[in-house]
A = this chain, B = another copy of it.
Amino acid sequence: MEKQRKAPRGTRKRDVPLSEDGIYATALQLIDADGVEALTMRKLATALDANPMSLYHHVPNKEALLHGVATRVGSQFREGKQEDIPWQDRMRQLALDFRALAHRHPKLMEYSFARADYVQPEDPFWQGLTDTLAAAELPASEIPRVAASLCAVFTGLLLSELTGALQRWTTLPPAPADTDGEGTPPPAEDVVDAMFSFALDAVVAGLESHIARTRKEP
C-alpha cells in the first residue's frame, strides 16, 4: 500500500529505518545546535521523523543515549603529529589536539567533562598519554596515576574554558582593587590561548621536576 521508499515529495528526513548510529548522529547534531539540556527524546524523535517510543527499541533510555554520544565523540580523538618528537612537545600537542576536539563539539564536551565518562581505555587519547609518559621514562608503576591526574587537569582547563569561567576569572580583580585606566584587556580568545600555553608549560615543568625527583630516590 504505502510502500513509498524515498518520499517522492515532502521534506521528511528519514526514508530509512531507525538505527543506533543514526540516532546518535542526529542527537549529536541537536546537541551541537542547542545544547544537551535542550535535547529531548521527543524532539530527537521528531528530528528523526519517528515516534518517540520507537527510540526505545535502539537505546535503553536517555542517560544511555547521552553516554553513547559522549563516548563516540571521545573516541574520535586523533593525534595530529608523529610520535618521534620529544615527550614534552608530544604532551603539549596531545592537550592541544584534545582542545581542538572540544572546540568542535563544545556543548557536548561541557556535558562530558562534567561527567568525566568520556575517556575509555582504548581511546587514542589515553594511549597517547600513557605512551608519552613512558617515553618520558616515568616508572611504569606511576603511569596510571600520573596519566589520570593529567586527564583531570586537562578536563579542568577545557571545562573552564567552555563554561566561560576561565575568561570570567581572568577579569576578576586581584587582591587590592587596582583600578587604573585600563578596562578589560585584549579579546578573550588570545588570553585563553595564552593561558593554555602557560598551563601546559607549567604541567610539563612539573612533570620534569617530578621525574627528576623520583630518579634521585628510587
Contact = CB atoms under 8 A, between A and B. Distances in A.
A130 B175 CA distance: 6
A166 B152 contact: yes
A164 B130 CA distance: 20
A166 B23 CA distance: 30
Nearest to A201: B210
Contacts of A7: none
Given A143-B174, A152-B166, A202 B206 contact: yes
Number of copies: 2
Interface stretch (A46-54, A85-93, A98-106, A155-163): A155-163
B153 A153 contact: yes
A145 B199 CA distance: 10
Given A151-B160, A202-B203, A202-B210, A178 B145 contact: no
A134 interface: yes
Main secondary structure, interface of A, reads helix
A54 to B, nearest CB: 26
A60 to B, nearest CB: 18
A166 B148 contact: yes
Given A131-B175, A149-B195, A163 B203 contact: no
Interface of A: 110, 113-117, 119, 121, 126-127, 130-131, 134, 140, 143-149, 151-157, 159-161, 163-166, 169-175, 178, 191, 194-195, 198-199, 201-207, 209-210
A140 B178 CA distance: 10
7 contacts: A130-B175, A145-B194, A145-B195, A147-B172, A151-B169, A206-B206, A206-B209
Contacts of A144: 169-172, 174
A198 B149 contact: yes
A153 B151 contact: no
Contact of A157 (B126, B140, B152): B152
